[in-house]
Amino acid sequence: MNTKKIYGAAVLVLCTLFTASCVGDLDQYPHTEATSASVYTTVDNYKAVLGKLYVAFTIAGQEKGGGNADLTSNKGEDYMRNYFNLQECGTDEVVYTWLEGDNMSGLTYLNWDANDLWVSDAYYRIYYNIALCNEFLRNATDDRIAGFSEAEQVELRHYRAEARFLRALAYYHALDLYRNIPFVTEADPVGSYVPPRYTATQVFDYIESELQAIDDDLLDRNDCEYGRACRQAAYALLARLYLNAEVYTGTEHWTECVDYCQRVIDAGYILEQDYSKLFNADNHLRTNEIIFAFPVDADHTTSWGTTTYLVCGAINNASDTQNPADYGAVSGWGNFRLRGELPALFSEGDKRAMFYTEGQTQDIAVVENQAYGYLSEKWTNLTDAGEAASNTTSDGVSTDFPVFRLADVYLMLAEAVLRGGQGATRAEALGYVNMVRERAYGDTSGNIVEAQLTMDFILDERARELYLECVRRTDLVRYNRFTTADYLWQWKGGSIDGQAVDDRFNYYPIPATELTANPNLYNEGY
């Protein structure tokens, strides 16, 4: 069953049910032309609304390319384009080209403030998604679904668990990016309600409890449609939450991280042997490794963000030699290149080093000149047969975004074991790392021995395996290297050689507009 088409159809259904708008405070919710009483009457309608909860991570509006926008924002981009910029563009992986025109100087040089447009847009996108989930859950209580048949109620409980998972994922992004944040659930009133400020520890505890509470109601991977959140997706999110627990709460949870990584591994996932196929237009077929993905489909969910941004944005639009058609694209946008530190991490024979280098320098001597910096070839709009999956100029790409995949779980387990987590041995951790590297090299030539399995190695290996997958900022913060002088990269802090910045840049500020709307909020350090 083609889940991309299922959720594309769901968006079309939602067009007839909802007209969404954004209000200033965080009790924002979809204002409906139809009433909840008339919408939440069939299982199919519930599924249509659930589809909107999913696609709200990848599209910006109800029409092609973000038309009929869900909410008014500064740049008007979708959730994942905002999230990518905040997670990648200030790190050692990505340098952005159009600094002034796209207002990207703050993110690029680690010098943003509470008025930064991207910081604000990411914040409101996250809370819009939380608001959608809350509204769905208000209409999916036991009392509201009591009139359905027993079999239908079982299905609706699965939907409810998925909505709670998606809300937990959005809250995790809010926690990781902003730390101490406003908190609102379906139990809170709609209208003039002013949400309280939750500390990072309170948000952590809430996410943990939510993901554990839905364990029985989420489907197992073998029973779950592609694109929907299975039980193992919740385990992977818990593992990532626990991996970063010490950053958020001051208390480590390494053993819990190992536990939930092991639960994912025990579910029977295996590595896809061709790394490049995890990032092409047929990557919805890689359910052997991909645990949970955001489906992107040019026929139904056209977006100029998400993976269209990752494919077209990485292609030089001023090159005489690079051919967009080689990536299944019609044209390049030239948004970003790779900082020199990333390609320097790769050894000869590592097939993950997917870089376009002709006419490009490795080092970034000039930020706003596309000739400086290698270009990523990791993401494409090509099918397994090597054909373009769609017209990217008019329809965007058809490449899904893997949110969680097995190789990441292997590396999370290895790091947690090295940091003292119980439940797996160093030998087992080494075995998982070498499985990732055997896939990268095609043989055992890249394998390491136990003495080489260090914290520094894991950080570098995560960059090699997961670059441009929206984890790098979080990884560098966890290692205390994002803001400090312990690790410098080109243009960190606005200096060509890199320099340390204030520790407040380990997180983003609540936008100034939100501070005005909600007197319970304040920023520390800004």
Who's near 448: CB < 8 A, 6+ residues apart? 430, 433, 434, 437, 457
- The pLDDT of residue 389 is above 80: yes
Predicted confidence (pLDDT) per residue in 149-193, tens digit: 999 999 999 999 999 999 999 999 999 999 999 999 999 998 889
pLDDT given at position 2: 45
Query: Cα–Cα distance between 291 and 297 in angstroms, integer?
Result: 18
Q: Are 386 and 356 part of one and the same domain?
A: yes
Within a domain: 408: yes
Predicted confidence (pLDDT) per residue in 345-370, tens digit: 999 999 999 999 999 999 999 999 99
Of the candidates 323, 487, 306, the residue with the CA atom closest to the CA atom of residue 397:
306
Predicted confidence (pLDDT) per residue in 426-476, tens digit: 999 999 999 999 999 999 999 999 999 999 999 999 999 999 999 999 999
Domain residues for the domain of 340 are 296-399
Check the CA dihedral 452-455-458-459 and report its sign: negative
Q: Are 352 and 410 part of one and the same domain?
A: no
Phi/psi of residue 293, nearest 5 degrees: -140, 155
Query: Cα–Cα distance between 526 and 524 in angstroms, integer?
Result: 6
Q: What is the CATH number of the domain that holds 200?
A: 1.25.40.390
Q: What is the CATH number of the domain that holds 266?
A: 1.25.40.900
Within a domain: 47: yes
Within a domain: 289: no
Within a domain: 485: no
The pLDDT > 70 percentage for the chain reads: 94
- Judged by average pLDDT, the poorest of 67-76, 139-148, 245-254, 321-330 is 67-76
Final residue in a domain of this structure, among 374, 399, 424: 399
pLDDT given at position 14: 41
Q: Are 256 and 194 part of one and the same domain?
A: no
Within a domain: 484: no
What does the pLDDT average to over 202-215?
98
Q: Are 104 and 200 part of one and the same domain?
A: yes
What does the pLDDT average to over 309-331?
97
- The pLDDT of residue 13 is above 50: no
Q: Are 123 and 184 part of one and the same domain?
A: yes
In the numeric block, which tokens belong to residue 163? 């909505």
Q: Are 245 and 141 part of one and the same domain?
A: no
Within a domain: 225: no
Final residue in a domain of this structure, among 330, 365, 399: 399
Q: Are 309 and 442 part of one and the same domain?
A: no
CB 181 within 8 A of CB 131: no
Q: Are 308 and 407 part of one and the same domain?
A: no
Average pLDDT, rounded, for the chain: 93
Predicted confidence (pLDDT) per residue in 501-519, tens digit: 999 999 999 999 999 999 9
Q: Are 324 and 201 part of one and the same domain?
A: no
- The pLDDT of residue 11 is above 90: no
In the numeric block, which tokens belong to residue 391? 């017209």
CB 200 within 8 A of CB 249: yes
Within a domain: 500: no
Residue 289 is given by DSSP the state T
Q: Are 300 and 382 part of one and the same domain?
A: yes
Final residue in a domain of this structure, among 399, 422, 454: 399
CB 74 within 8 A of CB 117: yes
Total domains, the chain:
3
Query: Cα–Cα distance between 264 and 140 in angstroms, integer?
Result: 28
